[in-house]
Chain A
């Protein structure tokens, strides 16, 4: 019996995906959400299994648990030896990896078409039988590896990012934690903790499986049914996470000192309404692009006040964040750069783009969308988050000035402004030198 139910699109942004002749989504009876987007233009298949649980679901004082569980699922299963899944994928010439994000944990693989059944089988093993492969010895090893990974990544941007989360959300909050507590927490996680967390998170009713690339839907559907329909959900409650958006109180300023690396950075974070449709998502991407282009033009190419500018969009369950980071030259004044940033944001909100500006922006985004079609993994990961990357080109072509202006209006109000400078006095990574938080 087929375990399919009628299509149930849970992400609004996928609405257009179902209309596409070559894309479909459905849900198995055990709750597993499946999206199939065959694309004959590429040579590989991207497979993503995304569990709607990430580091934001770490219980208080159990920081690192989601990340540790992600690592441990590579340690074998009932029918796989330690590391054998990775070996098998690599032996086909494919590659696999996993990422623990605040809202989700993603297992990803890029496979030659011939290895699609194998890739699906390995993900079934992970979902159904990984707990058979996780023992105390594996836990102790992976604790060390996770600690090594975090140490290796703990550069300036990582530390500032952690501090920014603390300033943005306040403590305690699922998206923010104390640096020092992290390693203590990881050290104290026990095997039953891992088992409980796995059962509440790595389960069909908490997962989306996405395939993009060189396969036929008729070939993939029965395979998915065969491998995943028999996977049972545990009886204990499924993990759920709906963390509150940051509190908004005007301009929240933080001055940070950091003890390593030379350089000063200004970062501005705006909290935005999350996109509820694919066109809205494209509008935010257009805003990101515009902001990046205009501020780079002024600060990097125009006045040489900065060496680099980057703008990043970060979608969370209940809100989106737009992060701007500017690396300043030695003598550049923080306040002056902030004033320029504010002015650019205000101009975007005050004046709609001209037809020529809009045409140029559309061209830029359409070009990006066409180029992205060659990366099935990027598309599969975007779909797993709930964005219709398959139709980016159409959405970019349909971009309109009033929507963009409305989105830009969100940049004129509340924001978090962090200025970071080197300081010999700082003892551990980053310290707050001064703070003005209107919420307090």
Chain B
């Protein structure tokens, strides 16, 4: 073979080697070997009625100082979930700044506890487990789960922790840990987008409450300020000691009374909540956090939602958001993920506080599809305002809602937290038992009513993150304000 021909062959060979990959074996045919069985061609029906009733048997009592005791006895597993919930001590309640409130809750748990002999001890643990805390929208709770056999120790630890924080010197480690937590929760893109959207819709003060991020508030909080925040936010009259598991009310009372009876009542009652903030958005405003080079955009949409002072709207709105953006097969997930493939899926979150109600939707899109996808998302919300949902959609959403609640209260820890939420919202446990009836009464028109009352798809501030390639498409959505990403 002449040299030139050999060179051509080598060149072709190199091209083949570089440009292709070894093929996989071919599939066998027929593709499916399992034989058709007509009797198995249809899905089987459910074997019993749907779970439609959530029964939680609970008992409650009050100690003389006003502390509520709440017990749900469940004896199938040998452990007890304890939770101490204080209503009115949420991050939107304004008792202290959200940063100081979280720092205070952390100092209660990590800052040392005055033990029965007067010494300061930390960390307090039962079988390696310490007290957890969370500052929610409308309450703060401290939780500890213990084996039944360790219940007396567990109650002692929880009771001393919430009542006898030392707050005396040595709180710098607590500040360091809270700064770490605050940085990691406020540094991310989502937090920045939520803040931009909230500032645009509701103003800077509200945005600062929604996304606590003032590091100086943590660095500079004095021990005295922490103590003051504790005294103003945690009191027996506004708190409940909740126990779920292998325990009765009589047992809880007997175990808790020695620990809590000397805690003086303050005579305090929960004040009226502030009025819900009104969004002031006018038209569509895009707050664009410009990234260097991003493979995807990130979008955060905020919509008003009912507060606890609109109790009749709470469940219809939850069903509405389920149908719009919630379920795997929600309208928006169907359109944007399953039909168009431009996202992996939407992540909604409902905030249902005493004076704040919000629906937050977080989602990533393909860069080039971002503006169209945002339009589609807003259009879905508009449609819910203009046309009632179908009976089938509503029925499925009701079932999912009920099941999700049943799932949450299906564990001792889940039920203890749920009871804390109900307590904080001023609801009785019977709310759970009545849920089935409440759901049955909801009609498609109710969802349309709450859609009209709360959603504002045409007047909203959006937070968007993505690179310069999005410039033109965003301009077609509405007014665009650009921001430089502080971090990527």
Contact = CB atoms under 8 A, between A and B. Distances in A.
B480 to A, nearest CB: 23
Given A93-B400, A364-B129, A131 B344 contact: no
B127 A367 contact: yes
* A interface bracket (residues with beta carbon within 8 Å of B): 35 or more
The DSSP consensus for interface residues of chain A is helix
A16 B413 CA distance: 28
Nearest to B29: A195
Interface in A91-121: 91-95, 110, 112-118, 121
B176 to A, nearest CB: 5
B26 interface: yes
Contacts of B341: 140-145, 148
Contacts of A128: 32, 34
B24 A197 contact: yes
Contact of A196 (B27, B123, B150): B27
A59 B32 contact: no
A293 B27 contact: no
Interface in A185-211: 188, 192-193, 195-199
A235 B29 CA distance: 10
Interface in B441-472: none
B258 interface: no
B25 interface: yes
A196 B25 contact: yes
Interface string B30-63: 0111111100111111111111000000000000
Contact of A129 (B34, B76, B176, B400): B34
Contact of B28 (A116, A152, A199, A289): A199
A393 to B, nearest CB: 9
B34 A232 contact: yes
A41 interface: yes
Contacts of A129: 32, 34
Contacts of A375: 411
A41 B47 contact: no
Contacts of B44: 117-118, 121
A148 B187 contact: no
A298 interface: no
Given A118-B46, A129-B34, A44 B410 contact: yes
Contacts of B217: none
A160 to B, nearest CB: 16
B245 to A, nearest CB: 10
A151 B294 CA distance: 9
Interface in B337-364: 337-344, 364
Interface string A15-51: 0000000000000000000000000111110000000
Contacts of A363: 127-128, 147, 150
A345 B33 CA distance: 53
- Residue from A118, A145, A373 having most chain B Cβ neighbours under 10 A: A145
A90 B49 contact: no
A61 B23 CA distance: 10
Nearest to B291: A260
Contact of A114 (B32, B40, B49, B79): B49
B210 to A, nearest CB: 22
Nearest to A85: B43
A367 B487 contact: no
Contact of B33 (A113, A226, A232): A232
A83 B338 contact: yes
- Residue from B27, B50, B334 having most chain A Cβ neighbours under 10 A: B27
A259 interface: yes
Given A152-B296, A236-B28, A370-B78, A93 B406 contact: yes
B173 A304 contact: yes
B231 to A, nearest CB: 26
Contact of B176 (A143, A262, A304): A304
Contacts of B400: 90-91, 93
B48 A199 contact: no
B296 A151 contact: yes
A419 B396 CA distance: 49
Interface string B148-192: 001000000000000000000000010011001000100100000
Contact of B328 (A79, A86, A193): A86
Interface of A: 40-44, 59-62, 78-79, 82-83, 86-88, 90-95, 110, 112-118, 121-122, 124, 128-129, 131-132, 140-145, 148-149, 151-152, 154, 188, 192-193, 195-199, 226-227, 230-236, 259-262, 289, 293, 300-301, 304, 307-308, 329, 360-361, 363-364, 366-367, 370-371, 373-375
3 smallest beta-carbon distances between A and B, as pairs? A93-B403, A364-B128, A144-B341
Interface of B: 21-22, 24-28, 31-37, 40-51, 76-79, 123, 127-129, 145-147, 150, 173, 176-177, 180, 184, 187, 295-296, 327-329, 334, 337-344, 364-366, 396, 399-400, 402-404, 406-407, 410-413, 487-488
8 contacts: A90-B396, A91-B399, A128-B34, A131-B31, A151-B295, A152-B364, A370-B78, A370-B79
